[in-house]
Amino acid sequence: MVILAVFLLVSTNQIANTAATTNTVSFSGEGKVSAKPDVAAVSFSIVTESATSKAAQDENSKKSQKVTDFMKNQRIADKDIKTTGYNVYPQYNYPRPCPLGATSALYPCVEKEQRISGYQVTQLFGVKVRNLDNVGAILDGLVAAGANQVYNLGFQIDNPEKLKSEARAKAVEDAKKKALELESQVGIKLGKIVNYSENTGGWPIYFEAKAISADGRGGGAPAPSIPTGENEITVNVTLTYQIK
């Protein structure tokens, strides 16, 4: 009898819990918050080629130091300057056969096997610029200081959690509003919220990546004008209610 009583009690609780989770209805809500970005994230690289690996690395180090000094002179903090990659690649001369097996000054032959002709060192940087009024001048100055390529300029919000919280509150309010409307329209009675899910979207604004040559800008060219626009953070939530 004791075992039977325990079995009936467990079965009753299971049926009650199943009913609580089965008789449910879900509502989605969306919240959006827009704000002007306060940080510009810039990626750039320094590429150096030389006959030996050591010579290429030494020359790259000199250029890197000059670029770093420039950024510090622009009052960019050490924490906002980061090396994101460092690569050393051998450069090869590939075999090119003589046309019709003939050798001449117009069609010189090269080795039948590829060989290393030099080395290329590429150092990649990521930097955050917090003074957005200075972005154009910094882009121009990076190239003048020795950066071979400047790319992936993106405007971000440095601390988006506050904006996410505001967007989340709007999304929850939107979902609850829909729940109240259905409750009055259909005539059902909603109980407690038994499930919650969330999805956050929103990305920084990026500008088209283009390689910039230090020799291609010309003297006295004005710094580029870079509009920042606005970033939008979107939060979508789903609230699941128990139906009484």
DSSP string, 8-64: HHHHHHHHHHHHHHHSEEEEEEEEEEEE---EEEEEEEEEEEESSHHHHHHHHHHHH
Q: What is the pLDDT of residue 211?
A: 40
- Say what the pTM is: 0.64
All structural domains of the chain, each given as residue ranges with its CATH number in brackets, are: 23-36+161-204+230-244 (3.30.110.170), 39-96+113-156 (3.30.70.2970)
The Cβ of residue 237 has, within 10 Å, a number of other Cβ atoms equal to 24
Q: Lowest-confidence range among 8-17, 75-84, 218-227?
A: 8-17
Q: Is the pLDDT of residue 11 over 90?
A: no
Q: Is the pLDDT of residue 7 over 50?
A: no
Provide the pairing of β-strand 149-156 with 81-93: unpaired
Q: Which two three-digit tokens encode residue 196?
A: 């919650």
| Integer CA distances (angstroms), 136 to 106, 154, 161, in order | 47, 13, 28
pLDDT digits (tens, 9 = 90+) for 83-138: 999 999 999 877 666 655 555 556 566 556 678 889 999 999 999 999 999 999 99
Mean pLDDT of the chain: 81
pLDDT digits (tens, 9 = 90+) for 133-184: 999 999 999 999 999 999 888 898 888 899 999 999 999 999 999 999 988 8
Q: Is the pLDDT of residue 187 over 90?
A: no
Residue 30's pLDDT band, with cuts at 50, 70 and 90, is: very high
Q: State phi, psi for 98 to the nearest 5 degrees.
A: -70, 135
CA angle 230, 232, 233 (to 5 degrees): 150
Is-contact 37 228, C-beta < 8 A? yes
